[in-house]
Chains A and B, each alone.
Chain A
Amino acid sequence: METILKKERLSEWVAQIGARATVFAPAFADGIWNFCAVAADTKVEFDHGNTVRPAKGFVFPQREVLYRFRQESGKAPELMETLPAAAPTVVFGVRPCDGRAMVRNDKVFTCGFNDPYYQARRDQVVFVGLACSEPPSQNCFCLSVGGSPHSEDGLDVLMTELDGRYHVKAITAKGREIVEGAAALLDKAQAADGKAAAKAHADADKHPQRALATMEKVAAGLKEHFDSPKWDELARACIGCGACTYLCPSCHCFDINDEITSNVPLTGERVRTWDNCQFPDFTMHSSGHNPRHDTGARLRQRVSHKLLYFVENHNIQQCTGCGRCISHCPVGIDIVRVATEVSGQ
C-alpha cells in the first residue's frame, strides 16, 4: 500500500497517531540524536543522521524486570508476574539498518523459544522507517552486509523523502493500520510517485560506502583465521569498554540479577539487563578462570558473532552495517577493517 504525505503534514500525522499511541521520533538533545517521546503539538521534522542509541531498546530495554519475589521467613517464596504491559508505540525515523537488526533480534528472541517480555513489546511497537537518501555516517556499510539504504526488512512502514513530500509505503498489517487510519492526510500514490521513489532508492544506492567482501568470503575467512595473531594485534589498543556492543542494534546478550529491596521479609526483583562481551566479567568463571582473557579474544568474539557464527546459525549476517561501533569506538577499532584484515578478504 503506497501513499504520499506532504512534508508539512508530517506533524499532523504524528499528532493523530499520538492521540492513541506513544510516539517517538529522532530529536537532537544534549548534543546527540536519540529517539525521544514526541509531546503533543511538537513539530516533527526529519533532519537526523542516525540516532546514537539504536531502536532495539523499544523491544529489548536495557533493564527488564522478569518477576518480583517475596518470602516470609520459613515460608515458600511467592513469585509475582511482571510481563510488560506495553502500550502501543510508534517509532518514526528508524533507519533501515535498525529495521534489519530487528529481524535478527526476532530470530534470537522469538524463534525456537518465544521470549514473552520481548514479544509483548514487539507486538505493540510499529517501526516507521525512513530511507536514507545519503549515508548518515561515513562509517555506513549496509550494502556490504546484504542491506540497502531503503531496505524494508523489519520495518512496518517505509518513508522515502521526495521533493516536498514523502512516499509512504505500508509493509506489514501494523503498518497498514496506521496508514489507513490517516486516509485524510495521506493521498494515494500515483504511478509517477512510485517511479520517483524507485529513482530516489536507486540514487541512494550509488553513494559510496565502506566496503566488506561477501558474506560467504568473510565468514570463511574468519573461520580459517580463528587463531590468527592479527586478533591480538588489532585489539592491542582496545580499552575494553562496552560502547560498541551497547550501541549495536543487534547485540542482544543479557545478564540476570536479583535486586533485593528488603531482607526481612525477603523481597526484590529478578532483573534482566544488557550485558557486554567486551567486559572481562562476561566470561569470568566462578573459579576465577576466564576463557576469553584478553581484548584479542573478546574482539574475535564480537566480530565473529556478527559475521561468522550468526551466518552459521541463521544464514544471515547479524551486522547490518550501521557503523555505530566504528564511529563511537574511543580508539578507532573498525569492524570493517578488522574483518577484512583477519579474513584476508
Chain B
Amino acid sequence: MVAIEDIRSRAKELLEGGMVRAVLGFRRSSAGLLAEPTFVVASEDVASLVWDATCVHNLALYLVNEKKRQKAERTPDTRPLAIIAKGCDSRAINVLLQENHVAREEVVILGVSCEGGGVVDTRKLADALRGKEAASAVCDDTGKVKVATASGEVTFPAADVLADRCLECTIAYPSVSDTMFGEKVDERGFTARFAAVKSIAAMSEQERSAFWDGHFERCIRCYACRAVCPMCYCDECVVDSTSFIVSPMTTAEEKANRIRWIQRSTTPADNAMYHMVRAMHLAGRCIDCAECERVCPVNIPLRLLNTSLEQEALEMFEYTPGMDPAQPSLISSFRDDDPNDFIR
C-alpha cells in the first residue's frame, strides 16, 4: 500500500514550486464512504489528500472538463495540472494523449500503483455488511480489505468487496507517469480478465436481448455514465438538443424537421439507442475504469457492454487501449492481416 505521505510531499513540492496550477487528488467526503475528487491549490492543503481503497474515481475526466473550463476563462492559468492516477486512470490519460485531446506537457502524472489491491465496489460492500455502514476501507497487499464500521473492524477477501474491474485487472500500475508511487505487481491472482463478460457471451441472442432490454428499460437518462467518462468529451452529443445549430435564418420547418436520432423520451428504444451509441464510440478507447457502471443510480451493468467490445478489440485486433500514446488508434489503423471474414 502506497503511503499517502509520499504523495503529499510530492504534491507539496509541485505546489510550492509553482510548477502546477493544482494537484487533483482525493479527499474524505461528507457524502459517504467514498473519497471525493479535490483540486488542491494551496500547498498547506495537501494534508487533505488521502489514498486508500475508496479512491475510486478516474480523475483523468477532469483533464477534459478543465480544458472546457479554461476555454471560457479570460486569463486561464496555463500551468499543468497534476493528477493522481491509478493504472486504469493512467491508461485513460494515454488515450487522451493519443487522441491529441491533451498534450503531455499539460499534465503532471502522479502515478500510483494499486500493487496487490484495488478499490471497493460500494454495492458489494453494502451486501457484505448487510446494512451496516462502512466508515473506512483499506486494502492490504494481498487484496484483503479492512473495513471499519461502528461495531468494529471486519476484513473481507478481495472478491467480496473489490470492484470487478480490479479483480480482472492485469496492469494495476501506471502505464505513464512523471512520478510513480508503489511497486509494479504483475501477479495478482484474483480472476481472469473478462471473467464478468463471459456470462453474457454464454447467453443466446434472445436471452442477451432480453437481458439488456430489462436493464435499459429503467434508465432515467441522467447521463451520469456519459458525464463521468473521460472518453465522452464531444462538445456536442447526439442525444443533446444543442447538436442542432440554430441561426436567425433557420426556419420553423427546419427546426421542426431536424433529425433527432434519439428522442428525449425514456422509451425502451431510445434508451437502448443511447447506450448502444455510447458503447460503439468507446470501442478501442474504453480502458475499463468502470466509472459508468459505478455512477449509474439505477444499477445498469454498463461495464459488461464496454468490456465485451474491449474483448473483441483484443481478440480480433490484438489491441489494448491506453498502453502507449504513440500507438495508432484501433479505429484509424489497419494491418494487412486484420481479420476480415465478417465482411460478406
Q: How far is the CA of A239 from the CA of B218 in the complex (A)?
A: 22
A281–B241 CB distance below 8 A: yes
A240–B39 CB distance below 8 A: no
The answer to whether B168 has its CB under 8 Å from any CB of chain A is: no
The answer to whether A291 has its CB under 8 Å from any CB of chain B is: no
| A30: B residues at CB distance < 8 A | 214-215, 218, 298-299
Q: Given the interface contacts A271-B265, A337-B30, does A239 sit within 8 Å of B299 by beta carbon?
A: no
CB distance from A240 to the nearest CB of B (A): 5
Contact indicator per residue, chain B 168-191, by CB within 8 Å of chain A (1) or not (0): 000000000000000000000000
Contact residue among B31, B133, B222, B227 (Cβ-Cβ distance under 8 Å from A333): B31
The answer to whether A257 has its CB under 8 Å from any CB of chain B is: yes
Name the CB-closest residue of B to A276. Answer: B222
Which residues 202-226 in B have Cβ within 8 Å of A in the complex? 214-215, 218, 220-224, 226
A63–B69 CB distance below 8 A: no
Q: How far is the CA of A286 from the CA of B251 in the complex (A)?
A: 12
Q: How far is the CA of A19 from the CA of B252 in the complex (A)?
A: 50
B298–A281 CB distance below 8 A: no
Q: How far is the CA of A326 from the CA of B297 in the complex (A)?
A: 12
The answer to whether B123 has its CB under 8 Å from any CB of chain A is: yes
Which residues 192-231 in A have Cβ within 8 Å of B in the complex? none
| A255: B residues at CB distance < 8 A | 241, 264
| A31: B residues at CB distance < 8 A | 123, 299
The answer to whether B141 has its CB under 8 Å from any CB of chain A is: no
Q: Given the interface contacts A242-B223, A276-B222, does A332 sit within 8 Å of B264 by beta carbon?
A: no
| A257: B residues at CB distance < 8 A | 260, 263-265
Q: Given the interface contacts A258-B256, A281-B240, A281-B241, does A139 sit within 8 Å of B228 by beta carbon?
A: no
Q: How far is the CA of A62 from the CA of B29 in the complex (A)?
A: 31
| A263: B residues at CB distance < 8 A | 257
Q: How far is the CA of A273 from the CA of B267 in the complex (A)?
A: 11
A273–B36 CB distance below 8 A: no
Q: How far is the CA of A243 from the CA of B34 in the complex (A)?
A: 17
| A246: B residues at CB distance < 8 A | 220-222, 297
CB distance from A249 to the nearest CB of B (A): 14
The answer to whether A12 has its CB under 8 Å from any CB of chain B is: no
| B308: A residues at CB distance < 8 A | none
**Please, could you name 10 A-B residue pairs with CB atoms under 8 Å apart, sorted by A?**
A30-B214, A30-B299, A34-B218, A62-B265, A237-B62, A241-B222, A279-B240, A327-B32, A330-B228, A332-B34
A sample of 5 more A-B contacts (CB under 8 A), given A53-B298, A330-B57, A332-B35, is A62-B266, A139-B32, A242-B223, A330-B291, A337-B31
